[in-house]
Each structure stands twice: as C-alpha cells, then as structure tokens.
Amino acid sequence: MNKNRIVKLCIFFLSCCIVFFIITIIILFAAKKSILKKYTTGKCQIRAFSINSLKIYSTVTFFNTKNSTFEQEPVIWSINQWKSVKFTKQDFEYLIFLKGITFLNLSEAGITQLPQDIFYLKSLTHLRLVGNKIVTLPMEIVSLQNLSTLNLQKNQISVFPLEICELKKLSILDIDHNKIAKIPREIEQLKNLSKLSFMFNRVQTLPVEIFNLKNLISLTVSMNKIKILPSKIKYLKKIQVLAISDCQINELPPEIGQLENLNHFNLGGNKINELPPEIGKLKKLITLDLSNNRINMLPSKINQLTKLSRINLRGNSISNKKKEVIKLLLNKCTIYW
C-alpha cells in the first residue's frame, strides 16, 4: 500500500515538473517575441531580442525588402559586438545595452536633447546627430572621451556648446546649418582636430585661437558673415582645404602665401578686388575658386602656381584684353569665365 502511494506521488510530481517546464518554455518564447525589435540599416534589417533578463544577444538577418528573400542565414552575435547601428526615437531604451558600439547614428530622429543612455557608451567614436532639433548639448557629453567624429549638422544650435571643447580626441567636427554667431576661444583645446566645418551659420569673426589648431587639414566657414581673414591664418601650416565662400571678405592678407600645403581654396561669392602677389607662393594649389567677386585682373605671380589645374573666374569684371593676359599666365590651367 505504501509502495503504491509512493509511486502515485512520484508520478504526480513528475507530471507537475513537465507542466511547469512547458509553461516556462511558453513564457520565455512569449517574452522573447514580445520584445522583438527591428533596426533598419540601408536595405537590411537587424533584429535584436533578449534571451533572458540578464544576458542580451542579437540575431542578425540580412533581409531584402524588395523581394522578401533571405540573403544570409541568421548569425548569433553579442549585442556588445555591434560596431554600427542607426536608431529611431522609439529605440532609445536599447542604447544602454550597446556598450561596445563605436558608431551611432541618431540622425533625423526628431530629438530635442540627447537621451541619457548615450553617455554610457564609452567606446563611441562616431556620433551623427544630423537633422534634429537640438538646441544645446548636456555637460554629460564630456564622458564620451573616445569620440573622434561629431556631426551636428542641421540642428537649432545658436550658442556653441563649450562641452565640445572637452572632447580631447575629437578630429572631425561638423556643425553646418545651425544658428551659431560666435566660435569660442576654447576651440583651441581641440588639439587633434583635423577637419572643422561650420558653414551656413551666423559667425562674423574668426577667433585667433582657431589658428592654434596645428593639425587642421580642412577648414570650411562658407556662408557666414565673416569680413576679415586674419593674418594669423599663416599658422595653419597643414591646411589643405580652405573654403571661405559667400562671406563678406574684401581682401586677403599677404600671409596667405604661407599656407604651403594648401590644395583647394574657395573664395567664391565675396567682395575681393585683387589678390596679393603672395598668392603665387601656394605651390601645391590645385583648384582656386574666385567666382562672383570684384576682380578685374590677377597678379603676374600667379603663373608660379604650376600645379593649378582649375580656376573659376566667373562673375567677375574682367575685360577681354585682360582675359588674354590671364590665359598666357595660366596656359596649362582650365579657366572658367
């Protein structure tokens, strides 16, 4: 009798275990399915899901949205191995799980301020925030000390965020299409900056500190209200690309001739009457845009620009007689009249 009772208890216990196991499987599957998220990158979709509450994985599936066919078998990765992903505003809650990510694209996400979880992404090197409604940056952005590229194009920033100047590894800074009226002196703290662009803003003067950026290779300040190009421009010894078009500059300092590595020089849309003879010292110059200025003749020294391949002189008041002289001076160069 006791044996039969023990057997019944064992069967009952075993049945309970099986039922519990089945219920657990169903719950886990439902939980996994319920938090399925899709991230779109180009023509592919990246799906990420949580196996359990403690460990995060992702299934990466290349999926052609046109013909709905799989291009590659799913691969299991750790989410911390992701190097690049684009998020929408609805995905911000997942940022905290991407601590190993290096490239983050939050462009056109409709955000007015950065989500706090971004500041946990210590490995981040590239951050794109193009086309949002950001007015300023929080001081916590200084925690992203590995950041090398920051793109803030097409936002609503009117005051240059000083916090940017604390990002010591920053090499590329793009703040085009904002409402910035002044570049702070603290900009000189960005010693590793190689490319700086703030075209389509409201800047009136260039701070002298900007010329302490010794590693600057490209500087674009077009479409601002700059009237004077300071003589200290001479200190940008590594500069290769200089764009100061559509400002209000009426003359160039003689020191411009000391930019010995300059390859591309855009001065179109200003109020320049003449070029200094020192322009002939730019031995590495390849393209020169002087369109829509007030130039009526070029200095004879310009014939020393042996590498010059294109010069744009459209929109200037140059007589036919002087055009012939310029053709002789630049007989190996394509001239746009």
CATH, residue 312: 3.80.10.10
Instruction: Assess whether 74 and 88 both reside in one domain.
Output: no
Phi–psi pair at 197, nearest 5 degrees: -140, 125
The mean pLDDT of 89-107, rounded to a whole number, is 74
For 207-239, the pLDDT digits (tens) are: 999 999 999 999 999 999 999 999 999 999 999
Instruction: Evaluate whether 260 touches 307 at the Cβ level (below 8 Å).
Output: no
Q: Is residue 29 part of a domain?
A: no
For 119-172, the pLDDT digits (tens) are: 988 999 999 999 999 999 999 999 999 999 999 999 999 999 999 999 999 999
Q: Is residue 134 part of a domain?
A: yes
Full residue range of the structural domain in which residue 88 is found: 82-226
- pLDDT of res. 173: 98
Q: Is residue 17 part of a domain?
A: no
Instruction: Evaluate whether 280 touches 257 at the Cβ level (below 8 Å).
Output: yes
What's the whole-number average pLDDT of the chain? 82
The pLDDT-based confidence of 4 (bands split at 50, 70, 90) is confident
159: left (phi over 0), alpha (psi -120 to 50) or beta: beta
For 68-84, the pLDDT digits (tens) are: 333 333 333 333 344 44
Instruction: Evaluate whether 244 touches 226 at the Cβ level (below 8 Å).
Output: yes
Strand partners, 84: 103
Q: Is residue 236 part of a domain?
A: no
Which of these three, 198, 226, 254, is where a domain ends? 226
Which of these three, 22, 56, 79, is where a domain ends? 79
Instruction: Assess whether 309 and 216 both reside in one domain.
Output: no
Instruction: Assess whether 100 and 144 both reside in one domain.
Output: yes
Instruction: Lowest mean pLDDT of 5-9, 98-102, 196-200, 294-298, name the range.
Output: 5-9
Instruction: Assess whether 159 and 92 both reside in one domain.
Output: yes
> Does the pLDDT at position 19 exceed 80?
no
Q: Is residue 12 part of a domain?
A: no
